[in-house]
Amino acid sequence: MWIADGWKDYEVLDTSSGEKLERWGKYILVRPDPQVIWSTPHEHSGWKKKNGHYHRSAKGGGEWEFFDLPKQWSINYKELTFNLKPFSFKHTGLFPEQAANWDWFGEKIRNAGRPVKVLNLFAYTGGATLAAAAAGASVTHVDASKGMVTWAKENAASSGLADAPIRWIVDDCMKFVEREIRRGNHYDAIIMDPPSYGRGPKGEIWKIEDAIYPLIQKCAELLSSQPLFFLVNSYTTGLAPAVLTYMIATVLKKHGGKVDAQEVGLPVSSSGLVLPCGASGRWQA
């Protein structure tokens, strides 16, 4: 498992009964987590001192309950700054387990000894975009949500990367990739963090089991003659690490290199165990 254990401003304090107790800077949140199928006593004081609690509804979805939590605050990961705010469906605007991948590809970019062009698809609020830009890459950031791209720009400014070579694109990811192929553009590295299910800006339906392999195939056409890495993240239970390995290895076979896929996770302070948070597949030259 790849563990995001480099955080100072974020921590999973405890887990129990379908929920995780988290510290985001100086604020404590309780959020549902489908992986937490065990139950332990709520001995950690944070359960009683929480600033926000997302309650899942039996009908689907849910809502936040707040206790002295600001509308927005920020936390840092190394040289990066992220602006957080609780919004729909339990999210805060950041997936902290992805820091395990930021560290991995950041090192690869820094050690490349050449300019590196990165394409970040389903780029959300820009965690991977900022990590790649801070490492010295030029990045094309693509997300179907205008609001998410705006949020990512705010994170870039907060991280001192407002003038970094980042191209911000609001578009359906598959359509953007197809246009880039027609334009003859190429990238040295590709990152994708697709949702299990979603809709594009014009109502395009995305279902990961149907769409992920064709997208990886298309993205392979965008790789430069000296590709550096290819990263696919998945929060979908059916896409186990072995499935990610097989898909990536099959498509990128002609490039040689090696593929590895693992669960990604976050350490839990109270137990010393690691909370699984999906899987990542990594190809590197």
Q: What is the pLDDT of residues 189-199, one digit of tens each?
A: 999 999 877 77
Question: Would you list the DSSP string of 46-59?
Answer: GGTS-SEEEEEPTT
> Which two tokens mark 174?
């598959």
Nearest-angstrom CA–CA distance, 119 and 141: 6
- CA 235 from centre of chain: 10
Q: What is the pLDDT of residues 120-155, one digit of tens each?
A: 999 999 999 999 999 999 999 999 999 999 999 999
Question: Where are the CATH 3.40.50.150 domain residues in the chain?
Answer: 97-284
What mean pLDDT comes out for the span 203-225?
89
Q: Which of 6, 195, 187, 234 is nearest to 104 (CA)?
A: 6
Handedness of CA 64, 69, 73, 75 (dihedral sign): negative
Decide the pairing of beta strands 229-234 and 189-192.
parallel
- Beta-bridge mates of residue 258: 284
What's the pLDDT band for 176 if we cut at 50, 70, 90? Answer: very high
Q: Which CATH class is domain 2-84?
A: mainly beta
Question: What global pTM score does this model have?
Answer: 0.94
What is the CATH number that goes with domain 97-284? 3.40.50.150
Least confident of 83-92, 183-192, 197-206: 197-206
Q: Which of 141, 173, 170 is nearest to 155 (CA)?
A: 141
Distances (CA, A) of 99 to 121, 159, 264: 17, 15, 10
Average pLDDT in the chain: 95
Question: Where are the CATH 2.60.40.1180 domain residues in the chain?
Answer: 2-84
With b meaning 16 or more CB within 10 Å and e meaning fewer, what string describes 71-93?
A: eebbbebeebbbbbebeeebebb
Handedness of CA 209, 210, 215, 217 (dihedral sign): positive
Distances (CA, A) of 77 to 25, 74, 85, 123, 257: 11, 10, 16, 18, 30
Nearest-angstrom CA–CA distance, 170 and 123: 10
